[in-house]
Structure 1
Amino acid sequence: MSRHFPRTAERRFSERRVSRAVRIALFGMAVVATAVTVGLTPVHAAGAPLDSAVVHAYNIPAGPLGRNLSNFAAQSGVALSFDPALTAGLTSPALSGSYSPREAIGRLLAGSGLEVVTRADGSYTLKKAAEEAPRESSTLPAVQVMADVLGSTTEGTGSYTTGAASTATRLNLSLRETPQSVSVMTRQRMEDQGLTQLQDVVAQTAGLVISQGGNAGSDSSPIYSRGFQVENYQIDGVGQVYGGYNGIFQTNDMVLYDRVEVVRGATGLMNGIGTPSATINLVRKKPTSQFQAMARVEVGSWDYYRAEVDVSSTLNEAGTVRGRLIAAVQDNDSYIDRLHEEKKIVSGIVEADIGPSTLATVGFTYQKHDATGHARAGLPAYYADGGRIQWSRSASAAASWAYSEREMQSVFGSIEHQFANDWMVKGTLSYAQSKYDEVLGYAAAYYPTQFPDRATGANVDLWAGRWAGQPIQTSLDLYATGPFELFGRKHDLVLGATSSYTRDSTVGYDLWWIGTWDPSIGNIFNWDGNTPAAPYNPANSDIVTSERITSAYTTARFKPTDRLSVILGSRITNWANDSRYERNKVTPYAGLVYDLSQDWSTYVSYTDIFKPQSARDINNNFIDPLLGSSYEIGVKGELFDKRLNVGAAIYKIKQDNLAVTIVPNVPVTGGNAVEAVSGTTTKGIEFEVGGELAKNWQGSASFARNISRDRDGVSLNTDVPQNTVKLFTTYRMPQVGGGLTIGGGVRWQSALYSDNQGPAGDQRFTQGAYSVVDLMVRYQINKQLSATANLYNAFDKWYYTGTGNTYYGAPRSLRVSLDMRF
């Protein structure tokens, strides 16, 4: 099949779209930059004293120090003015919670080298700590600051944990204040382990597993949490909605993101629809007020080459406009024969203070992932006589002409305003366009006649076809959050609404049986991927589908006592696609958090589950929506000045109308028939610790156990491990040269299996329990330059990543990078 000229035309069309998107983004950036008032100096006339005992609730994100001090002054009523030059290039951590004015400003000024002085008129200003106070001023008593306070932003902290996360409730709470299991993969952890792809992050994150049945990016590599497939993805808290093929969101490069927040369990409050598995929220890097630049080159096994550039700076003298540009390219072969990948990523973000309390942000992102020699599955696991086949790990099931192309581009903008009454409102508008084009050609065994003859290698066919689509999503996300008073105490409230519309233009092609094309391979044991040639498979249909979700929600955190928090929320959702709709579906949420001490809390939470389903029963009818409830109880701790987070949880999930594939398979429209099973239960426990264990020592450890059974007590999803353990730690020795960091970790999982395998459908495919060890070392050559080496699968463990075919995990490999920072 010739595809040179069509692909060239598609590429030109794609380039025009990218160019248009970039021009739109740059125009928006220029408009925002023009609207900025240069040289803003927050001034507040008379105000509250800094030593006031009145406690205010603050919700100030990490960011430029000048902007955050202005927000502090507006929220506290303290009259503060200062020279913008003093704060130019300085940032402050996030400020979330209730503090007196002195405590609040102390946290914001932590590590800045600035202190507060009082003027003759009773207002306040700033000076450098080493400078002599102005003649008209008298220096206030020293403001006690908390050094290295962690905010939600993880870049530059060197930490394996975070100080706050909002994915679970939209409230900017610490992990200890959140009544659900939350894991955060920080920027430092990703850089230490060389986690450049979302699948890399998932493999290292507590409670998440990948059931990989084919090459990365295929639809046969779902992510699981608590026994069920993860279907909810967010970027900066805004849901990525595409029910037709949500696996496309797995193709994300981590160079763009500050951190990945993962909430395990049902997350209906923030998503409206979804399974009780998890939500993965990718949080973008933001512009910084202080100039910083990074360039990294990396080489590795199997001709792996990668380069990254990341530059951030203020764009005007006053520091009120800031920009960030990120780009990366990657080119690599694989341990699997014929597989080759190319990736290109570019992103630009500009944010501007368009007033003392208003922040505007606009940006664009472009990602492209191409793979040739791409297989949706591994080679057959059994001979025709029922014996097991032992393939080499490099053996490929892909035809040489099979490929997968994915492209994602988005333009986004937001406005955020802080009011003087401590309330904040934010609106985000985003437009995302994805494109996928996959020509399928892979050798797999699904029927008795397709298992290879032991002597001749015959009887194996290629599964061929093509699918392509171009989903476009437009999303609007609005919310307001702030404190309110009730019965003499302060509480927190979030009010929000979201709307998303996805339109997918799909081109239809024949699948699996294509005209008179002969799919037989010949001898699978000496197959080179070139025969048979690609079939002639022209497009035979154009299908346009759409999906719309609108919802409104509220979350309130009541503080009846200093130790007790009661979090109540509800979301009402309307969902519709071209053939079905669900109206006014209410998802309630409730959580209690009780502080046992200054460092420890216990919690309990509850939420409902609702998800429309596209699977069909034996009569070819859509099954009813998935319904259920999720319960969780746990304990959490913040240790070592809140730089180490500890959590343990037990949970129970009840579900009705769970889709279970009928065995033997019964083909229906869009796949195989399922049975809607009610009365299924899932129980499990989780433990996680992450952060600073001691000075220069970062670590993360987790254990997760999950058991899912149907109403008759039969185990479900046995091809997903019930138990996982994940450990990784690093220790930095600053006294060795410019600084030496060594690290290592292990990933262990229990056995998994699938029944009804083999030519007669009477065998069990089992992958026993196994562990994989990873090692790393980094040497700081000088202040700007460092070298890092990562050794993956150090003991070269052989293992299958799934069941049913022979798709192996990656053998031992090495990557080495040079990192230059300014």
Structure 2
Amino acid sequence: MSNDDFAPGDPAGMTYTHRAFPRFFSPHRLTARIAAGLVIPALVQPAMAETARYDLAIPAGPLGSALTQLADATHTKLLFVSELVAGLRTTELTGKYTLEQALERLLADTRLQYFIDHAQKTITLKTADEEALLLDTMRVQSVAEPGFGDAPVEPGGLKADYQSAATKLALPLRDTPQAVTVVTRDALDARQVNDISTALELAAGASEGGGASAPGPFGGRGQFGAMYALRGQLLDYYGGILSDGVTLSSIAAFDFAAYERVEVMKGPSGFYGQGSLGGFINLVRKKPQQETQASVSLAAGSYDTYRFESDVTGALSKDKRARGRLTFAYEDAGSFIDGVSSDLLQVAPSVEYIIADNTRVLLQLLYQQEAFVPNQGLPLRVVGNRREPFDVPRSVFFGVPNKDSDIEVFDALFKLDHQLSDRWLASLILQGNTADRDIVFNNTVNVDGGYTYAFASKHISDYDLWSGELRLEVSFDAFGQEHKVLFGAENSHRKLDAIYSYVPIGVLESYQANFADVGSVPTGAIPDTPWVSSDTKQKALYTQSVFSLHEKTQLLINARYSHVDTRGSFQEAPSNPIDEGVFTYRAGLTHTLSDNASVYTAFAESFEPLDSVDRNGNALDPTTGEGYEVGLKSEWFDNKLAANLAVYRQDQENLPITDPEDPNFTMSGGLHRTDGIELEITGSPMPGLTLAFAADWSDNEFRDPEDQNTYGMARETTADRRFSVHANYEIQGGRLAGLGFGGTFVSVGDRQFISYGEDGPFQSYLDGYERVDMHLSYDGLPNWDMSLLVRNVLDETYIESSSGATWNGSFFGSPRAALLKATYRFD
């Protein structure tokens, strides 16, 4: 039968066929623009090519849901009578397929046949012995909404298949020319993770970077917000954490009750403007769902730790165009440190509304409040070239605890998606984030040079960020392949005002003295002394293209121009302003070797404006960097297990280093180089067994001879190796079905620091550590999930985090501690 035998969309002509309507286009204008380095998709007629192959990750389940996900991924409409698929299920479909190949696999065990109308961009189903019926387009029953650029719904488990933050486009991890770690919701729940530090333990190249904050559970809150490092590079304190691709502030330790997963992007983050050479961390919010789901959980554990969570989502209207979600968390936690405790409240509502078939709005709000006794950590002493804690119990609080500290954060995001056509998507994103952090010590202690100093201090930070972004995403077919182009414009305004002051109390006889003997200073008696103020405005334009050079080869290119205007002051004295424009680039090539393996190579740039000032009060030059990376990504056991390898080099200029003339200040340094290897294995190689393995090896040093205090030495807080593995097995049948048991092993090499002695600076080391956690779970009861975490089973004593200072800012890891959690999911 020829295509001319019937008109497209004529029911009389809808017979089963494997031949799609061919579409033709002239490539001459497109070729000219590719040669010029830009693609103007408006000059290319969108087409659905028979040979176009799509990356699919469709889990086993109801056939209707699987077909809907296929239609979404291939930009087609799905038309059929719902009764045709009632009760039918299909197996998992993962990999690269043409539309026809995917349909044949999904419909292989049914009596259904399909008809593809490429002119109308529809798929119509019918049985083998009756005419097809055309009804309204079926809507997606999941997170992904047709045409709005969402990644396909993933089947769950520890292994992820897609990311969107690294490229601002939903791309398969296999096609992303960059090392990306995704810690899924299932991975977080398996280990009862509620904080970033613990989540990063299963991400190669990631670490807790000090910052005077206690890591992990049972440790309380620190003097400052936690800092994180990727590939040895500290993330921007006010921009290294993102939520759905939009900047948050590290002032607050965001609780994970409101988040679905964590995406760790490793490598230069210049595509987002200012940012670390190491990358960034993206927290993905839980989104409203069409189908009603509700759960509550209770947890209780060591050191008087209690926690309640709830999560409710569902349709808000009969037609399910309006959906809502509300997550809630409350935690009352003690600590293994004497007198340290914290209270946390988080409320996170979100509403999504499909205004029309081509328009969607999303509003997300988050409020988090914490009141706590802060812990500024313990001092370390330098013995030879080793740093070690003083001979004190892990429970010692250096000072007198007081609960006058709190953090309050509010975050709002509004997103409007409008599908201009089936291949054109425009998005507007508006965001506001405010965070206030008040830290008060009425009596705290520093130990330095053999003396123990008691003092009171106040540190208040007010942070405000407002941003807007407009994106235009275009996909088109050319030369039998699908290509994507992204254009964007951003405008952001960030303000920071910080107060820091201290009042000396006295000198104690030793670090083992009774700290209360010297008294305390009331909070009101500690002055509010301005410390640092900064006002940064940034405007940017960017573009990104993903070209399918061949069905097995993709080229990603992006460029960004950012203009940064920073004004500020240090101790009320104006700093030198920064007013400059910066271009950053990224290019990556991915090539598929086989159905289960691909290789990639990438180059990217970064720049990072600094809030630091030199001893003269002048702002330091922005840190700039270049990153080079090659890698191998593979999938095994029928795509259920991912194994990824990355090899990288990172060169950085203008890192802040200690001023040799005044160690209380910093200055811009010369070349710093890091070389490293990362390996990750994640997934489920057999029914019931889940596995996550992460390891990295690196070497870094300052290479500029003019940097007297750092030349030839490694950057502070870095370790040459890190290794972690999590494994769990759940019994699949019999009386014990649903019982799971497993563990987590974490090993960190010696941490490197720069110390100062009579002969000048030298490299010093803090012992590494090993920790073993145990996990038990049971989901054999209808609607119930129960889990038990025993952290540090062997009760090892070790320093888990250190800021680099010796007088305070180091933190013991928790002694052996347990947390029991029970979750009930409503039908």
TM-score bin, normalised by smaller chain: 0.7 to 0.9
| Alpha-carbon separation, structure 2, partners of 1:430 and 1:95 | 37
Q: Does residue 1:247 correspond to 2:285, yes or no?
A: no
Corresponding residue for 2:411?
A: 410
How has the CA–CA distance of structure 1 residues 76 and 821 changed in structure 2, closer, same or farther, with 3 Å as cutoff? closer
**TM superposition score normalised by structure 1:** 0.80
CA distance in 1, matches of 2:204, 2:111: 39
1:203 is aligned, of 201, 204, 214, to 201
Alpha-carbon distance in 2 for matches of 1:641, 1:418: 35
| Secondary structure class of the residue paired with 1:596 | strand
Secondary structure of 2:79's aligned partner: coil
Which residue of structure 2 aligns with residue 628 of structure 1?
A: 625
Q: Distance in 2 between matches of 1:76 and 1:185?
A: 27
Selected match of 1:818 from 797, 819, 822: 822
1:550 match: 539
Q: Does the aligned pair in 2 maintain the 1:707–1:715 contact within 8 Å? A: no
What is the CA-CA distance between 1:766 and the residue it aligns to?
A: 3.7
Which one of 158, 161, 173 corresponds to residue 160 of structure 1? 158
| TM-score under structure 2 length normalisation | 0.80
- Does 1:337 find its partner at 2:338? yes
Alignment CA distance shift 1:136-1:157 (3 Å): closer
Q: SS at 2:811's partner residue?
A: coil
**Separation in 2 of the partners of 1:641 and 1:426?**
36
Deviation at 1:50, TM superposition (A): 7.5
Aligned partner of residue 199 in structure 1, secondary structure = helix
TM-aligned CA distance change 1:438 to 1:674, over 3 Å: same
SS in 2 for 1:247: coil
Residue 390 of structure 1: aligned partner: 391
Matching residue of 1:18: none
Partners of 1:182 and 1:60 lie apart in 2 by 18
Which range moved further: 341-350 or 386-395?
386-395
Instruction: Tell me whether 438-447 or 609-618 shows the greater mean CA deviation.
Output: 438-447
- 1:539 pairs with 2:528: yes
Change (3 A) 1:753 1:594: closer
Closer, same or farther in 2 for the Cα pair 1:56/1:190, shift >3 Å? same
Q: Which residue of 2 aligns with 1:588?
A: 585
Shift of 1:268: 0.8
- Quick one: which amino acid aligns to residue 230 of structure 2? S
Instruction: State the match for 1:562 in structure 2.
Output: 551
1:95 deviates by: 11
Partners of 2:241 and 2:250 within 8 A in 1: no
Contact 2:277/2:652 (8 A) holds in 1: no
Does structure 1 retain, via aligned residues, the 8 Å contact 2:159–2:641?
yes
Q: Select the residue among 220, 226, 229 that pairs with 1:224.
A: 229
Distance 1:648-1:118 versus aligned 2 partners, 3 A rule: closer
The offset of 1:572, in angstroms, is 0.7
**Does structure 2 retain, via aligned residues, the 8 Å contact 1:303–1:332?**
yes
Return closer, same or farther for 1:285/1:89 CA change in 2, 3 Å cut-off: farther
Distance 1:686-1:200 versus aligned 2 partners, 3 A rule = same
8 Å CA contact 2:750, 2:768 repeated in 1: yes
Q: Do residues 309 (structure 1) and 323 (structure 2) align?
A: no
Could you tell me how far 1:344 is from its partner in structure 2?
0.5
The answer to whether the 8 Å contact 1:74/1:420 transfers is no
Q: Kindly state the Cα deviation for residue 723 of structure 1 after the two structures are TM-superposed.
A: 0.5
Q: How does 1:273-288 map to 2 (within 5 A)?
A: 273-288=274-289
Which of 593, 599, 603 is residue 596 of structure 2 equivalent to? 599
**Distance of 1:133 and 1:387 partners within structure 2:** 76
My pick for the range that moved more, 344-353 or 764-773, is: 764-773
Partner residue, 2:189: 191
- CA distance in 1 between partners of 2:487 and 2:579 (Å): 22
8 Å contact kept, 2:447–2:453:
no
Residue aligning to 1:495: 487
Question: Quick one: structure 1 residues 750 and 541, their matched pair in 2 at CA, closer, same or farther if it must change by over 3 Å?
Answer: closer
Q: Report the 3-state secondary structure (helix = DSSP H, G, I; strand = E; otherwise coil) of the residue aligned with 1:539.
A: coil
How far apart, CA to CA, are the structure 1 residues paired with 2:404 and 2:58?
A: 42
Contact 1:705 1:722 in 2 (8 A): yes
TM-fit CA distance, 1:287: 1.4
Letter of the 1:697 counterpart: L
State how 1:734-773 maps to structure 2 within 5 Å.
734-735=732-733, 736-756=735-755, 766-773=765-772
The CA deviation at 1:167 is 1.9
Deviation at 1:240, TM superposition (A): 1.4
The aligned amino acid for 2:755 is N
State the 1:523 CA deviation: 5.8
Q: Secondary structure at the match of 2:452?
A: coil
Q: Is contact 1:441–1:462 with CA below 8 Å preserved after alignment?
A: no
1:398–1:190: structure 2 CA closer, same or farther, 3 Å change rule?
farther
1:557 to 1:607, Cα distance in 2 relative to 1, 3 A: same
Q: Contact conserved, 1:217 with 1:248, CA < 8 A, in 2?
A: no
Q: CA deviation at 1:252?
A: 0.6
Identity %: 24
Instruction: Look up the match of 1:637.
Output: 634
Amino acid in the other structure paired with 1:260: V
SS at match of 2:186: helix
Letter in 2 for 1:347: A
Worse-superposed segment, 424-433 or 477-486: 477-486
Residue 651 of structure 1 is matched in structure 2 by 648
Matches within 5 A, 1:386-465: 389-401=390-402, 403-441=404-442, 443-445=444-446, 447-448=448-449, 451=450, 459-465=451-457
* Contact 1:56 1:98 (8 Å CA) reproduced: no
Against the structure 1 CA distance between its residues 726 and 743, is the aligned structure 2 distance closer, same or farther, given a 3 Å change threshold? same
Match of 2:665 in 1: 673
Residues 397 and 174 (structure 1 numbering): CA distance in 2 closer, same or farther, change over 3 Å?
same
- What is the identity, as a one-letter code, of the residue corresponding to 1:549? Q
Larger mean Cα displacement after TM superposition, 49-58 or 770-779 = 49-58
Amino acid at match of 1:239: V
Contact kept in structure 2, 1:67 and 1:356, CA below 8 Å: no
Residue 611 of structure 2 aligns to a residue in which SS? coil
Q: Distance in 2 between matches of 1:638 and 1:498?
A: 36
Distance 2:625 2:71 in 1: 46
Q: In the alignment, is the contact (CA less than 8 A) between 2:332 and 2:342 conserved in 1?
A: yes
Residue 365 of structure 2 corresponds to residue 364 of structure 1? yes
Contact 1:492/1:558 (8 A) holds in 2: yes
User: What letter matches 2:753 in structure 1?
Assistant: S
Aligned to 2:349: 348
Letter in 2 for 1:315: L
Q: Secondary structure at the match of 1:248?
A: coil
Whether the 8 Å CA contact 1:90–1:290 is kept in 2: the answer is no
Q: Which amino acid aligns with 2:377?
A: A
1:537: Cα distance to partner? Answer: 1.7
The CA distance in 1 between the partners of 2:388 and 2:187, in whole Å, is 43
Superposed CA deviations along residues 7-31 of structure 1, whole A, max 9, x for unmatched, are xxxxxxxxxxxxxxxxxxxxxxxxx
CA shift for structure 1 position 90: 13
**What SS is found at the alignment partner of 2:728?**
strand
Per the alignment, residue 609 of structure 1 pairs with: 606
Aligned to 1:577, the other structure's residue is in SS state strand
Q: SS where residue 258 of structure 1 aligns?
A: strand
The 2-side partners of 1:286 and 1:91 are apart by 26
Q: 1:322 to 1:86 in 2, by over 3 A?
A: farther
Could you tell me how far 1:164 is from its partner in structure 2?
0.5
In structure 2, do the counterparts of structure 1 residues 118 and 172 end up closer, same or farther at CA, with 3 Å as the change threshold?
closer
Find the residue that maps to 1:783 and give its secondary structure: coil
**Which residue number in structure 2 is paired with residue 377 of structure 1?**
377
Change (3 A) 1:76 1:540: closer
Partners of 1:730 and 1:662 in 2: CA distance: 49
CA distance in 1, matches of 2:106, 2:658: 55
In the alignment, the residues of structure 1 paired with residue 350 and residue 105 of structure 2 have an alpha-carbon distance, to the nearest angstrom, of 27
Cα displacement (A) at 1:819: 1.1
Contact 2:411 2:433 in 1 (8 A): yes
Give CA-to-partner distance per residue, 1:339-380, whole Å, 9 cap, x none. 1011111111121222223222112111112211x1223145
How much has 1:239 moved relative to structure 2? 3.0
Please list the CA deviations of residues 529-573 of structure 1 after superposition, one character each: whole Å capped at 9, or x if unmatched. Answer: 585222412435698642222212111112222222111111110
The residue correspondences of 1:55-204 to structure 2 (distance < 5 A) are 55=51, 80-82=78-80, 100-103=98-101, 136-137=131-132, 157-204=155-202
Provide the secondary structure at the position in 2 that maps to 1:789: strand
SS at match of 1:807: strand
Q: Is the 8 A contact 1:155 1:187 kept in 2?
A: no
More strand by proportion, 1 or 2?
2
Aligned to 1:34: none
Offset at residue 631 of structure 1 (A): 0.5
What residue in structure 1 maps to residue 29 of structure 2?
none
